Amino acid sequence: MKVCVTAQEKDLNAQVDPRFGRCQYFIFVDTDNPENFEAVENPYKDAPGGAGVQSAQFVANKGVKKVYTGNVGPGARQVLESAGIEVVTVSGTVKEVIGA
Amino acid sequence: MKIAVLSGKGGTGKTTIAVSLALSLPGSQLIDCDVEEPNVHLFLNPEIKEEKVVNTLVPEVDYEKCNFCGYCAKICAYNALSVLKFGEKEGEILLFNHLCHGCGGCILLCPEKAMKEATRPVGVLRIGEGKGIKFVEGRLNISEVLAPLVIEEAKKLAQEDGVVILDAPPGTSCPAVATLKETDFALLVTEPTPFGLHDLELAYEVAKALKVPAGVVINKAGEDDIVEEFCSSRNLSILLKIPFKREIASAYAQGIPLVEAIPDYKVKFQELYNQIRGML
């Protein structure tokens, strides 16, 4: 299953970034094959407004089924819910979160 | 002539000055531009004769035409739109009202012409008269953020002839700038405290950037002359000083304008106006 984890660095040992819309990196992982991951710097982390909305749309366009993060704002939550993406609140490292 | 009363710091006495200046000038109009927290009405007790709703432009999606290409979300400068595509002809467009500035860019640029103009109320203008003064108040609806739009609409009701006094919101951000824009004079109200001085400097810089001539009123004046030092270093005129007095604070707390509590001030405010006229 393809999931997204918000992270402070761009590898699997990174800590989960507790912010969704303004996280440092999005790590897209296939949980069946964790070594095959893609880390993308969040293009919206410095947006003056609507960072959550844009980040959520960005993640939704990647076709993920689940998002692991800290806090999701109301705008981002609405987009993720509409896209049918489950939001899971977590902390720790990316590796721990995806059980790799 | 349009005179904007602003301060940077809140609580320095903008409304006290704006109301008393208006009451000292027969035929003047007072516009409360502090649309997030209008309070001029407390001192004028105006009779409201008319109310006008302020609407903002919002896009409305025609789902018959939309193909969920996502272009509207891509070009939105405020990230107020999100386009989710579920299939070839299935999807959803989410509009985040509080991020939308009503620029209409998405409506104009939609490749499928699938966006049309709609409106949404964000505030109200109350128009009336109190104590012989023409009164306009902008009031932003609760939880709304488009204060500048309501201020701009309120300013459109400014009388052509005669004096218009605009009571600005505190701060130096968009709502204060919207108030000050295209006025003839910035009356900067301050108090002799470090915060008052700090924000006076910010307000002065805004007036300078907008090329609006400015002068200063020192309210709650005491022994400290930090404001005087600042003003002389910037060649900024001090037009009026109001002392820090219990009597004045007490009248304010009861909703009594300064010129009613101490009628001698009427002449001082008329002199203040004459000084402003002399500076223009």
Q: At what angle do helices B14-24 and B265-279 cross, to 10 degrees?
A: 90
Question: Residue B97: closest CA among chain A residues belongs to which residue?
Answer: A75
Q: Do both B94 and B140 map to the same domain?
A: no
Cβ-defined contact of A54 to B83 (cutoff 8 Å) = no
Q: Write out chain A residues lying below 8 Å of B80, CB-based.
A: 50, 53
Q: At what angle do helices A51-61 and A74-82 cross, to 10 degrees?
A: 20
Please report, for the domain that includes residue B179, its CATH number. Answer: 3.40.50.300
Beta-strand pair B133-140/B164-167: unpaired
Cβ-defined contact of A57 to B84 (cutoff 8 Å) = yes
State the best of A44, A53, A59 to mutate against chain B, taking most chain B CBs within 10 Å: A53
Query: Per the domain annotation, does B94 fall within a domain?
Result: yes
* Closest partner CB to A47 (pick from B79, B92, B94): B79
Radius of gyration of chain B (CA): 22
Q: Write out chain B residues lying below 8 Å of A47, CB-based.
A: 79
DSSP string, B19-68: HHHHHHSTT-EEEE--TTS--THHHH-PEEEEEEEEEEEEEEE-TTT---
pLDDT tens-digit series, residues A52-90: 999 999 999 999 999 999 999 999 999 999 999 999 999
Q: Do both B108 and B231 map to the same domain?
A: no
Question: Residue B73: closest CA among chain A residues belongs to which residue?
Answer: A54
Query: Per the domain annotation, does B262 fall within a domain?
Result: yes
The domain containing residue B138 runs over which residues? 2-45+131-279
Q: Do both B110 and B60 map to the same domain?
A: yes
Query: Per the domain annotation, does B138 fall within a domain?
Result: yes
User: Domain tally for chain B?
Assistant: 2
DSSP string, chain B: -EEEEE-BSTTSSHHHHHHHHHHHSTT-EEEE--TTS--THHHH-PEEEEEEEEEEEEEEE-TTT-----HHHHH-TT--EEEEE-SSS-EEEEE-TTT-----HHHHH-TT--EEEEEEEEEEEEEEEETTEEEEEEEEPTT---HHHHHHHHHTT--SSS-EEEEPPSBSSHHHHHHHTT-SEEEEEE-SSHHHHHHHHHHHHHHHHTT--EEEEEEEE-S--HHHHHHHHTT--EEEEEE--HHHHHHHHTT--HHHHSTTHHHHHHHHHHHHHHH-
Whose tokens are 């609580």? That residue is B11
User: Domain tally for chain A?
Assistant: 1
> Does the pLDDT value for residue B90 go beyond 90?
no
Q: Do both B10 and B66 map to the same domain?
A: no
Query: pLDDT band at residue B71, thresholds of 50, 70 and 90?
Result: very high
Q: Do both B18 and B65 map to the same domain?
A: no
Smallest CA–CA distance, residue A72 to chain B, in Å, is: 15
Percent of chain B with pLDDT over 90: 96
Cβ-defined contact of B94 to A78 (cutoff 8 Å) = yes
Residue B199's pLDDT is 97
Q: What is the dihedral of CA B68, B71, B73, B77, to 10 degrees?
A: -170
Q: Which residues pair with B84 in a beta bridge?
A: B92
Query: Per the domain annotation, does B126 fall within a domain?
Result: no
The domain containing residue A50 runs over which residues? 2-98
Smallest CA–CA distance, residue B156 to chain A, in Å, is: 29
C-alpha–C-alpha distance, residues B229 and B257, integer Å:
29
Q: Write out chain B residues lying below 8 Å of A60, CB-based.
A: 84
Q: Do both B217 and B190 map to the same domain?
A: yes
Model-level pTM? Answer: 0.86
Q: Determine contact: A72 vs chain B, CB below 8 A.
A: no
Q: Do both B94 and B176 map to the same domain?
A: no
- Which class for A20: exposed (0-12), middle (13-18), buried (19 or more C-beta within 10 A)? buried
Cβ-defined contact of B78 to A49 (cutoff 8 Å) = yes
Q: Please say which residue of B74, B100, B121 terminates a domain.
A: B121
> Does the pLDDT value for residue A100 go beyond 90?
no
Mean pLDDT of B254-276: 97
Q: Do both B101 and B198 map to the same domain?
A: no
Cβ-defined contact of A51 to B94 (cutoff 8 Å) = no
Q: Write out chain A residues lying below 8 Å of B82, CB-based.
A: 53-54, 56-57, 79, 82
Please report, for the domain that includes residue B104, its CATH number. Answer: 3.30.70.20
pLDDT tens-digit series, residues B34-64: 999 999 999 999 999 999 999 999 999 999 9
0.95 surpassed by complex ipTM: no
Q: Write out chain A residues lying below 8 Å of B74, CB-based.
A: none
Lowest-confidence region among A95-99, B39-43, B112-116, B192-196: A95-99
